[in-house]
Amino acid sequence: MSKKSSKGIAVTMGSKEYFKGIGRIPFEGRESDNPLAFRWYDEDRVVRGKTMREHFRFAVAWWHTLCGTGGDPFGPGTKDFPWAKAKDPMQAARDKMDAGFEFITKMGIPYYCFHDFDLVAEGKSLKESGERLDAITDYAKENSRPAA
C-alpha cells in the first residue's frame, strides 16, 4: 500500500485503485453542485468549542460497505464488487482491505468497525480460520498507520 497526499490528507492506496478518478471528498459548502462534495459537514468548523470532526466520530461498517451485496427477502444481491474477484481467500481479503482503506481515506472517515469474518472468509477448521484472521489483522494493522 502507498499513501498519496490529496489536499493535505493522506489517501491510502493498494496496488489497484478501486474508486478511480475520485480524490478525497472535499467540503465545498451548501451552494456546491458537486455530487461528491460535503455541503454541510466541514470537519474543521468549530461549533461550541469543538470541530465538527470532534463532534461527529464517523466510522465505516466493513460488512455494510464492503461485503453486503444488497440481497434481501425479495431477491439476491445486485452489487458486484471488483475486490471480491480473487479465488484465493487471503488475496480476496487483502483486495477488500485495500478497497476499504482507499474508501475510508477518500471519505475522510477516521474509524472503521467489523465482525471477525467480514475481513476474511472462514477456513475449513478453527485453526485455519484463526490463522487467516491473524494474517489479515496484521495486514490491517500494517496499513492503518498514518502517513509519514
Q: Distance of CA 29 to CAs 8, 32, 34, 48, 135, Å?
A: 19, 6, 10, 20, 42
| DSSP code for 12 | E
The answer to whether residue 42 is catalytic is no
Q: Distance of CA 109 to CAs 23, 31, 60, 126, Å?
A: 13, 23, 7, 33
Q: Which of 115, 116, 134, 138 is catalytic?
A: 115
Question: In this structure, what C-alpha cell is assigned to residue 71?
Answer: 440481497
The answer to whether residue 134 is catalytic is no
Contact call for residues 1 and 101 (beta carbons, < 8 A): yes
Positions annotated as catalytic residues are 115, 118
